[in-house]
Amino acid sequence: MKRLSGIAAIAAKLPRLSPSALSALSALAPRLVGSGEEAEGLNFVPASRKRVAPTIHVVGLSLLFLLPGLAISLLIEWGSTSSHDEGALALAMGIALVAGMACWAPTTTGTQIRTSSVFSAVAFSWIACSLVGAVPYAAGSMFDWAHFDDALFEAVSGFSATGSTVLADIEANGKGILMWRQITQFYGGMGMVVLAVTVLPLLGVGGLALMSAEAPGTTSDRLAPRVSETARNLWKLYLGITAVVALALWASPGPGLYDSVAHALTTASTGGFSTWNASVGHYDSWLVETIIVIGLFLCGMNFTLHHRALGGDVKSYIRSSDTRIYVVLTVIAIATATIVNWAVELRDTTGAVMQVTFLGSLRDAIFNVVTLGSSGGFGNARGPDSLGNFVLWAPQLQIMLLLAMVVGGSVGSTAGGAKVFRAVVAVKHAIRSVRRIRHPHAVMPIKLGDQAVSTDIVQRVIGFLTTFLFITVVGALLVTATGAPILESVSASISAMSNMGPALGEAGPTSNFLVFSRPARLVLTALMMIGRLELFAVLLMFATPTSSVRGWANRRRRAKARAGL
């Protein structure tokens, strides 16, 4: 009965919604989540007067897509009895609606989209969404406007599916606001731009580029002939996994409907936000942890494989060497963590020796290795002195966890990090250069499974990893400069870049990022965004604006010259 009370409360309040707002919502909603053809039919500005500005168009569309999530949160907040931040959520909805329409309606993407526009479209969409997503936090009771940077941290941590938090007490906030926090991760896991592509008219190659610029991984395979169809399939799959996890959690003893949905949203997106201070450790339940672990593990795999498997081709998992390595690495890491934690004498925060049983060690190893390997970042610690708090683990295991963070999940999944594929290619590339000393003229392709990886992709992988390293080092330098200790700074930079969540030391899974100063948190905010968009989109986001401004200046100069003549 308790489960349904929330819904009942919402239902009881529904008639109080002003009729005009309801009709406006219902008028917008079906069109926005409908298919591309319908969206095309929604013309506020005649097509002839629309300007071709793909970046602005996609930004507007992404903002509009925030509306359903905000609306759901608003309803929940309204239905809950504990807090009343409806105003804040409504304000955010207003901003999203007005700004979104202003960007989207008078513009069009045109029939083709330039490569440079792809990056700026993606990056600016994410920045716009994060800014709007931070409004409910700042306008509500969570933070003051003076701490908008904290609100932004929380929003970026959400949209980038990272899961780091600056909330000292999560449970003190309203249910609706917390649900919005979970929903931001859900949006971020698959990506707002992928969502936008579902309704964009056929963009040709540019559409796929848009998706792959945002989707984690080096390639995004086509699941369907049309790009929007592919995007739609991905989102359906994503929704499906979320629904299954939510149902499984609901069916298990412990979490109610609200919490089941909330945790399912952040499991599918490998985000790691929770509605509880103790995260998943709140339930102290094998079953809940197992469901979340399975969900995270599946979402750390390539979604294309899931799509194929649903179509009957289950063997595609085994055929994919990427997945094989991901599974093997995870199993090795779990085994190592289990044995070492069981064998080594560990001390808790008070310095007392911890009693570790083998099964207990196995349980915490499985949960933490999977949650860090798939860039989830949930915690299962039952209090700061339990084994689930991995900052108490043996130091060599913590180094292994850092490595797991960097490597992350498979290509084409919702996981962050550098990805198994890239790590394997980099190692094979390094080994090849040593073998080349012996055989300077041999042609040695780099193989993954039995497929040779093309030189082009190898170079891109190298470029990615080197950039990843450069940015992480610069981030760590800046964070340490604010006075944070080295261990925390380096691990937090790695964690932010690979969209993990918790870091080591004081910033561990039972703590929060308030241990860092405000400037340090701003640096980490930037790192999370860069990491989620796989570096290039953020680094190249100014390419289109620059060329636009330059083009405009050139035109003006030419016009002036003509006038002068």
Using CB under 8 A, list all residues that contact another protein.
115-116, 119, 394-396, 398-400, 403, 426-427, 429-430, 432-434, 437-438, 440, 459-460, 462-464, 466-467, 469-470, 473, 476-477, 480-487, 489-490, 504, 536, 539-540, 543
Report in angstroms how near the CB of residue 222 gets to another protein at its nearest: 18
Our CB check for another protein shows the closer of 10 and 457 to be 457
Our CB check for another protein shows the closer of 261 and 325 to be 325
**Taking a C-beta distance cutoff of 8 angstroms, is the pair 354, 392 a contact?**
yes
How far is residue 424's CA from residue 329's CA, in Å, rounded to a whole number?
Answer: 11
Report in angstroms how near the CB of residue 492 gets to another protein at its nearest: 12
Our CB check for another protein shows the closer of 93 and 365 to be 365
Residues facing residue 448 across a β-bridge: 451
Report in angstroms how near the CB of residue 105 gets to another protein at its nearest: 29
Our CB check for another protein shows the closer of 19 and 440 to be 440
Report in angstroms how near the CB of residue 534 gets to another protein at its nearest: 11
Q: Both tokens of residue 379?
A: 């915690």
Our CB check for another protein shows the closer of 438 and 562 to be 438
Our CB check for another protein shows the closer of 294 and 487 to be 487
Pick from 133, 108, 111, 127: nearest CA to 55: 108
**Taking a C-beta distance cutoff of 8 angstroms, is the pair 418, 407 a contact?**
yes
How far is residue 383's CA from residue 369's CA, in Å, rounded to a whole number?
Answer: 18
Q: Radius of gyration of the chain from Cα atoms? A: 24
Report in angstroms how near the CB of residue 111 gets to another protein at its nearest: 19
| Segments of 412-486 assigned E as strands | 446-448, 451-453
Report in angstroms how near the CB of residue 469 gets to another protein at its nearest: 8
How far is residue 230's CA from residue 221's CA, in Å, rounded to a whole number?
Answer: 9
Report in angstroms how near the CB of residue 382 gets to another protein at its nearest: 24
How far is residue 223's CA from residue 231's CA, in Å, rounded to a whole number?
Answer: 8
162's CB contacts (< 8 A; 6+ apart) are 156, 271, 272, 377, 416, 495, 496, 499, 500, 501, 528, 531, 532
**Taking a C-beta distance cutoff of 8 angstroms, is the pair 510, 383 a contact?**
yes
Report in angstroms how near the CB of residue 504 gets to another protein at its nearest: 7
Our CB check for another protein shows the closer of 327 and 539 to be 539
550's CB contacts (< 8 A; 6+ apart) are none
Our CB check for another protein shows the closer of 218 and 266 to be 218
Whose tokens are 């035109």? That residue is 555
> What are the counts of helices (DSSP H) followed by strands (DSSP E) for the chain?
24, 4
Q: For the chain, give the number of residues.
A: 565
